[in-house]
Amino acid sequence: CQWWDHVRPAPKDPIASVGEAFLADASPNKINLGVGAYRDEEGKPVVLRCVRNAEAKVAGSEFLESISTSANSRLVEESIKLVYGKDTDVIGEGRLAGIQTLSGTGACRLFAEFQRRFYPRSKVYFPDPTWSNHHSIWKDAEVPQGTFSYYNPRSKGLNFPALIDDIKNAPESSFFLLHPCAHNPTGVDPTEEEWREISYHLKVKNHFPFFDMAYQGFSSGDLDRDARAIRTFLQDGHLIGCAQSFAKNMGLYGHRVGCLSILCTDTMQALAVKSQLQQIARAMYGSPPIRGVLLVSTILGDPDTKALWVEELKAMVNRICKMREALRESLEKLGSPLNWEHITNQVGMFCFSGLTPRQIELLQREFHIYMTADGRISMAGVTMSNMDYLANAIHEVTK
Ligand code: PLP
């Protein structure tokens, strides 16, 4: 018997295949706009100074089991403060069930499994479009899924009326996945007023809001400001879930540090929910590696290191904002007849360019510029050194 003869190659991951094509290109001019992680003005990955400080502080301690347990609970405590606000009542009331996870992906996967166990027939609704892995994660957890309107290709902004209609039309008590800031891939976030309305309509239909917070800080440069949507939902009395990742905002992609928290009605419920999450995690992967957890809990737990992180996060966001302004300006200076306002209107790591599949193909073939097939430009891949070349190439293919 030939055990694996029937196994065919899995379809390529759309983001990873952009990276592979980029690596295989020998052109000295090539630009990778597919990366989802921060790059500095020389196009290089960055290790933040706050991470280096934390590394020095934890040196030699990472194999002590007792420390690992306390680091895990410190990580959860500090992560929760970042999302819900350090002074919120729900922390004191013990209503949050929090558990450390394998970055944002692990938090989503754990929640999807939890959802299926306790609400096997409820659907999850994703914004259209969303991070492609959301579909795969909830599919593997065998949760039925749908989408709700989000992006309007004509305005390159939010399709708010259609979004609200879709909330109203979804079956009562559905799950809604929301990006609280720096929406991936569109860079389009609702305004505060729009969030208030979204919260209201979700409440009316008793839907459960699940926030995937992969880029806290990347919309505005301010951690609290980027959590405003979630705080609005808190005020409105929702029970909510939240996946957090430190991959992007601490540049710790490889360490896989994240947190899943679920706001419950009271302490008893929170304890029950937490124990179920722990049991699911134990059977799936045991526990996460300790080193990243130690680094993040040290950064968040030490006021000076945390202040340094906040400063470094702002610097990353500022660079991205400057690149947005410079790219728009360069295209306008070249005399592009198209409207490029969305480059500066959109926020976060990405710009949903609106380039067509043909234009994207030309950029790759003629100019060695790589981006995902949906036209998402990672603004972190743009630098002052590749700006003129990039703007000129975009202008050439969109003339
Ligand atoms: N959620 C969204 C919206 C993302 O864009 C990403 C990463 O690209 C993630 C979650 C998961 O990131 P990670 O698992 O690296 O923390």
> 248 phi and psi, to 5 degrees?
-90, -50
Atom of ligand 1 nearest to the CA of 131: 3
Q: How far is CA 175 from the centre of its chain?
A: 18
Q: Which residue's entry shows tokens 């007023």? A: 193
Q: Is the CB of 247 under 6 A from ligand 1?
A: yes
- Give CA separation, 366 vs 327, 331, 359, 361, 372, in Å: 20, 18, 10, 8, 16
Beta carbons within 8 Å of 344's beta carbon, 6+ residues apart: 324, 325, 328
Q: Which amino acid is at 250?
A: M
pLDDT for the residue 65: 62
Q: What is the DSSP letter of 128?
A: E
Catalytic residue selected from 195, 212, 309, 340: 212
344 three-class SS: helix
> 157 phi and psi, to 5 degrees?
-135, -155
pLDDT for the residue 177: 98
Ligand 1, atom 4: nearest CA belongs to which residue?
Answer: 214
pLDDT for the residue 17: 85
Residues of the chain with pLDDT under 70: 62-68
Q: Is the CB of 103 under 6 A from ligand 1?
A: yes
pLDDT for the residue 14: 77
Distance (Å) from CA 153 to ligand 1 centroid: 23
* ipTM metric: 0.99
Ligand 1, atom 13: nearest CA belongs to which residue?
Answer: 104
pLDDT for the residue 63: 63
Nearest CA to 178 out of 168, 188, 169 is that of 188
131 is catalytic: yes
Which tokens is 376 given? 């998402």
Which of the listed residues 133, 177, 376 should we mutate to test ligand 1's pocket, taking the one with most ligand atoms within 8 A of CB? 133
- CA atoms of 340 and 195, how far apart (whole Å): 26
CB count within 10 Å of CB 37 equals 16
Catalytic residue selected from 195, 248, 274, 309: 248
Atom of ligand 1 nearest to the CA of 130: 3
Ligand 1, atom 6: nearest CA belongs to which residue?
Answer: 214
pLDDT for the residue 12: 84
pLDDT for the residue 66: 60
Q: Is the CB of 258 under 6 A from ligand 1?
A: yes
Note whether 202 and 177 are within 8 A (CB): no
